[in-house]
A and B are shown apart, each in its own frame.
Chain A
Amino acid sequence: MKATKLIAIILFTAGVSISCVKQNLPDPGTLPTEKQKLADSKVPDDFNWSTGKNVELTITGLPTIIPVKNTLTISLPDGNKLYNAYHEMSVNLKLTLVVPATVSVLKLKYGSFDETLNIVNNKAEFSFIPVIPQEQE
Chain B
Amino acid sequence: MKNKIFSLVIMAILFPIAVIAQVTLNAESGNIGVDAGNCWKFQGMSYISSAGDVISGTFSLRSGQINNHSITNTYLKTPWMKIGTGNITFKIKLSSGSAPQSRGIRVSYIPYNASSPTTSYEGTAVTFHSYDYANVSDLSVKEISVPIPAAIENSTVVYRIMVSFVGQTGSGRILSDDYVFPGIYWSNPSNSCNPLPLVAPPADADGDGVPDVDDEYPNDPYRAHNTYFPAFSQFGTLAFEDNWPKKGDYDFNDVVVDYNIKTVTNGNGNVVEVIFSFILRASGAVYNNGFGVQLDGIAPNKVSMVTGNHPGSLPSAANKTESGQSYANVIVFDNFFSLMTRPGVGLGVNTDIAGPYITPVTQQVVIKFIDNGVAPPGGTLTLAQLSSAVYNFYIFINRERGREVHLPDRSPTSLANTSLFGTLEDSSNPVAGRYYKTINNLPWAINIVEGFEYTIEKIAIDQGYLHFIDWATSAGVQYPDWFMNKPGYRVPEKIY
Do the beta carbons of B230 and A52 come within 8 Å of each other?
yes
A-to-B contact residues, CB < 8 Å:
28-32, 35-39, 41-54, 62-71, 76, 78, 80-89, 93-102, 110-113, 128-132, 134-136
What are 20 sample pairs from A and B whose C-beta atoms fall under 8 A apart? A32-B463, A38-B460, A38-B461, A39-B247, A42-B473, A48-B409, A51-B448, A64-B38, A69-B16, A80-B231, A81-B226, A81-B231, A83-B227, A83-B383, A83-B387, A84-B226, A98-B389, A112-B194, A128-B189, A135-B45
Q: Are A86 and B6 in contact (CB under 8 A)?
A: no
Q: Which residues 395-425 in B have Cβ within 8 Å of A in the complex?
A: 407-409
Give 8 A-B pairs besides A51-B450, A52-B236, A80-B231 with Cβ atoms closer than 8 angstroms: A50-B447, A65-B6, A85-B269, A88-B269, A111-B192, A129-B31, A134-B45, A135-B46
**B344 interface residue (CB < 8 Å to A):** no
Judge if B234 is at the interface, Cβ distance under 8 Å.
yes
Minimum Cβ distance to chain B for residue A67 (Å): 6
Q: Are A135 and B62 touching (Cβ within 8 A)?
A: yes
Contacts of B267 in A (CB 8 A): 86
Return chain A residues, CB-CB under 8 Å to B469: 35-38, 41
Which of B17-25, B127-135, B279-287 lies at the interface?
A: B17-25
Tell me whether B228 is interfacial, beta carbon within 8 Å: yes
Question: A86 and B442 in contact (CB under 8 A), knowing A65-B38, A135-B44?
Answer: no
Interface residue ranges, B against A (CB under 8 Å):
5-6, 11, 16-20, 23, 29, 31-34, 36-38, 42, 44-47, 62-64, 185, 188-192, 194, 209-210, 214, 224-232, 234, 236, 247, 250, 265-269, 382-384, 387-389, 407-409, 440-443, 445-450, 460-463, 466, 468-469, 472-476, 480-481, 483, 487-488, 491
**Chain A residue nearest to B490 in the complex (CB):** A30
Of B224, B409, B440, the residue contacting A86 (CB under 8 A) is: B224
Q: Do A95 and B440 touch across chains, with their CB atoms under 8 A apart?
A: no
* B36 and A86 form a contact (CB under 8 A): no
Report the 4 A-B pairs with minimum CB-CB distance, sorted nearest first: A111-B190, A29-B488, A80-B231, A52-B449
Q: Taking the nearest CB of chain B, how far is it from the CB of A134, in angstroms? A: 4
The reply to whether B491 and A30 form a contact with Cβ atoms under 8 Å apart is yes
| Interchain CB contact under 8 A, B192 and A112 | yes
Look across to chain B and name the residue whose beta carbon is closest to the beta carbon of A61.
B37
User: How many angstroms from the CA of A135 to the CA of B46 in the assembled complex?
Assistant: 5
Tell me whether B250 and A39 are in contact (CB under 8 A). yes
Distance, CA A36 to CA B442, complexed state (A): 14
A127 shortest CB reach to chain B, Å: 8
Assess whether B191 is in contact with A37, with CB atoms less than 8 Å apart: no
Complex CA–CA separation, A70 to B469 (angstroms): 45
- Taken together as a complex, chains A and B put the C-alpha atoms of A69 and B387 apart, in Å, by 21
Q: How far does the alpha carbon of A63 sit from the alpha carbon of B481 in the complex, in Å? A: 42
Q: Quick one: closest A residue to B194, CB to CB?
A: A112
Query: Given the complex, which residues of A lie within 8 Å of B227, measured CB to CB?
Result: 81-85
Q: How far is the CA of A86 from the CA of B407 in the complex (A)?
A: 32
A48 to B471, CA, bound (A): 11
Asked if residues B447 and A102 are in contact (CB atoms below 8 Å), the reply is no
Q: How far is the CB of A102 from chain B (nearest CB, A)?
A: 5
Interface contact A50-B441, CB-CB below 8 Å:
no
Cβ A82 vs Cβ B443 within 8 A: no
